[in-house]
Amino acid sequence: MQYRSLGKTKIKVSEIGFGAWGIGGGWGPKDDESSMHALQRAFDLGITFFDTAMGYGNGHSERLIGQAFKERRDQVVIASKVPPKNFRWPVKDSDPLSATFPAGWIIQCTEKSLRNLGTDYLDVQQLHAWTDAYLEQTEWLEALQKLKQEGKIRAFGVSANDWDPFGAVNLVKSGVIDTVQVIYNIFEQRPEEILFPAALENNVGILARVPFEEGLLTGALRPGHPFAAGDWRKDWLTPERLEAAGHKVDALKEYLSPDCPTLSALALKFCLSHAAVSSVIPGMRRVENVEANAAVSDGILLHDNLRQTLKAHQFNHGWAYPWSRSTP
């Protein structure tokens, strides 16, 4: 496993992180025993960065991570997130801060996450959405700074709104945060345009989420795929969308090689091959997922020619997530 610096913090993270939404629920039947095996196997293979959120299964994901690493807390890096107080995603410019991230709420949620995890500090605390309208307001920032001064968090950042590669750029340029989590993958390459250069200039760590485009870039989701009961993707990935994406995924198969023998490996190495990325955080629930993803961290990145070729495979489909609100 390779390790990278998390922006200007003094925190080192595994370049393959453990995305822990799935173990909290929402992706089909929960299997806590399988989840615990996956967490333990991830650690055994050198994965030290675990990204969770208070909203993942109403704290269930946090509690599993806390249980898994109770005896070796100092050997892992744990990031969590504060949900908007109104639990509405994405956060919009028109949402008053009092409805989303007031100071008291940030502190309350952080304290709850600490209890869920059974720890007295978070390595990274994040706001689970962001709008540029909050940049000129200080209440959210003062709350996070207070938590840092108290030793309850080591660093803080934001998770950019879904499919919004530009909304956190000004925040990065302000220099007040440590990390930004953003959707970045072969289909969604727009963060490279402005966000990543700003992050490099300001030494802000980038956490690349959704590297598999919710499973599409693994090649496993095809028209007629039998989604499990409780898997939120069932209604989002309609047969028409699976058909459209399938052609795009098939076109990537010609780039497989001994260094990238699977589509999943190609997807992860694409993310890791950008200098701005500190860690890529695929969702994992089973040991076999962990082993396949961890194996990609072998120190071999995509060469520049292939990265340039993959630019032609961007697919900005515009499919809003089912929880997204319509613009008022």
Neighbours of 35 (CB within 10 A): 24
Instruction: Reply yes or no on whether 56 is catalytic.
Output: yes
d(CA 139, CA 127): 13
d(CA 91, CA 14): 29
Question: Half-sphere exposure of residue 205, counting CA atoms within 13 Å on the CB side?
Answer: 27
> Who contacts 60 (Cβ-Cβ below 8 Å, separation ≥6)?
23, 24, 25, 30
Q: Which among 3, 56, 134, 255 is annotated as catalytic?
A: 56
**DSSP label at 182?**
E
| Helix or strand (DSSP H, E) at 159 | strand 153-159
CB 168 within 8 A of CB 130: yes
Tokens 């962990």 found at: 290
Cα-to-chain-centroid distance, residue 234: 21
Nearest to 97 by CA among 85, 113, 82: 85
Q: In terms of DSSP H, where are the helices of the chain?
A: 32-44, 60-68, 97-100, 103-117, 139-149, 169-174, 195-202, 233-236, 239-250, 263-272, 287-294, 304-310
- Residues marked as catalytic: 56
